[in-house]
Structure 1
Amino acid sequence: MILELENVSLKRGGSWLLENVNWKVEKGQNWVLFGLNGSGKTSLLNLLNAFTFPTSGNMHVLGMEFGRTYLAEKLRIQIGYVSSSLQQKFNLHDNAFEVVLSGAFASIGLYETPTDEMRTRAAQLLHDLGCYAYANRRYETLSLGERQRVLIARALMADPPLLILDEPANGLDFLAREALLDSIERISSHHDAPTIIYVTHHIEEILPIFDKTLLLKEGKVFASGDTTDMISSPNLSDFFGIPVNVSWDHNRPYLSRVHITNG
């Protein structure tokens, strides 16, 4: 079991950000966490990374039980986490290779001397993610899409069993988004690939590799299960509260609104 949440709730400032969340992710599964802005996605990710702790309920992540183990640093080194909040934290003068190498030490910046083995792994990850051509370019010169792929390579440096991608395609144009999604698909094809949780509010980003989906709405689990069941016209019409149509093309879903005319 990668993670298991039982009736997990989170309260801050007198308001419930999450209520009675139940979620199980098994090794080998890849999940989409889908929800609109304000649905509680960030609060849930903060729990998974042990940035915050639940107000009530039971949580196990990578075999560690919240409340029973001092797990903050021990847990985070086992989770590859990529979010837009990381984009601005790196030294803009470091090159892409140095940014990736820093992932071996779970540090923002490279302050220790990497081993030859680490250097070899960083180079391989840059190659796998299509970043090798700009390995020596400074981070500040990279496009948003290039930075995202570098950060994913960094997240994989410690060979984590769990990779969480928080809105990784946010702000990317069509070509950059598809290049990023291709990279994610290549990662998942490796025999030692981590379990991936992909967080988004755009269903067209859902790749065939994501066989499971959790729909989060107003801090509660609206539904969870097989992606083909979750990302369907009837289910998403209920989820959004308006009639929508889901069409599938090459095992990718696309969403459109159903306009109802009178008469």
Structure 2
Amino acid sequence: MPSPWPLLLDDPATGLDVADREQLIDRLEVLGLTRLEPASVLVNRHLEELPPGTTHAMLLRDGRCLVAGRVGEILAGLQASACFDHPVRFTQVDGWWSVRTRRPAPAE
């Protein structure tokens, strides 16, 4: 086995309820903090499921890499809106990411 050993996860929280999803994310976070620190790849469509401590991200569009790099830079940039072909805004609170749609100001 290579060192560190790889951990590949493809939408691991699909079908889980909120409590089970949170327990999975907590375990992934703890695993990332262990001495073994596996190299992990998490394929996901839901940013609220990114474990705190996630360091890098890659945005794919039509099966191709649109942009890759440090997670904060990737999600703060305009590439995220281009990736989703929709205006989005990412925020991070206590290590947790969330995404909201940018909406135009209401007309008065």
TM-score surpassing 0.5?
A: yes
Cα distance between partner residues in 1 of 2:26 and 2:65: 29
Question: What corresponds to 1:169 in structure 2?
Answer: 13
Cα distance between partner residues in 2 of 1:181 and 1:208: 8
Runs of 5+ in structure 2 lacking a partner? none
Is the Cα contact below 8 Å between 2:66 and 2:79 reproduced in 1? no
Partner of residue 179 from structure 1, selected from 23, 32, 44: 23
SS of residue in 1 equivalent to 2:59: strand
- Work out whether 1:207 is the aligned partner of 2:56: no
Find runs of 4+ consecutive structure 1 residues off by over 6 angstroms.
none
Query: How far does the alpha carbon of each residue in 1:164-219 deviate from its partner, in whole angstroms, 9 at most, with x for none?
Result: 01111111111110000111111111112211111101011112221011111101
Structure holding more helix per residue: 1
Call closer, same or farther: CA 1:233–1:171 in 2, change over 3 Å.
Answer: farther
Call closer, same or farther: CA 1:160–1:226 in 2, change over 3 Å.
Answer: closer
Query: How far does the alpha carbon of each residue in 1:210-230 deviate from its partner, in whole angstroms, 9 at most, with x for none?
Result: 101111110110000000011
Is the Cα contact below 8 Å between 1:210 and 1:227 reproduced in 2? yes
Structure holding more strand per residue: 2
Is the Cα contact below 8 Å between 1:204 and 1:252 reproduced in 2? yes
Query: How far does the alpha carbon of each residue in 1:119-159 deviate from its partner, in whole angstroms, 9 at most, with x for none?
Result: xxxxxxxxxxxxxxxxxxxxxxxxxxxxxxxxxxxxxxxx9
TM-score normalised over the length of structure 1: 0.38
Question: What corresponds to 1:227 in structure 2?
Answer: 71
Max Rg structure: 1
Cα distance between partner residues in 1 of 2:33 and 2:106: 49
TM-score normalised over the length of structure 2: 0.87
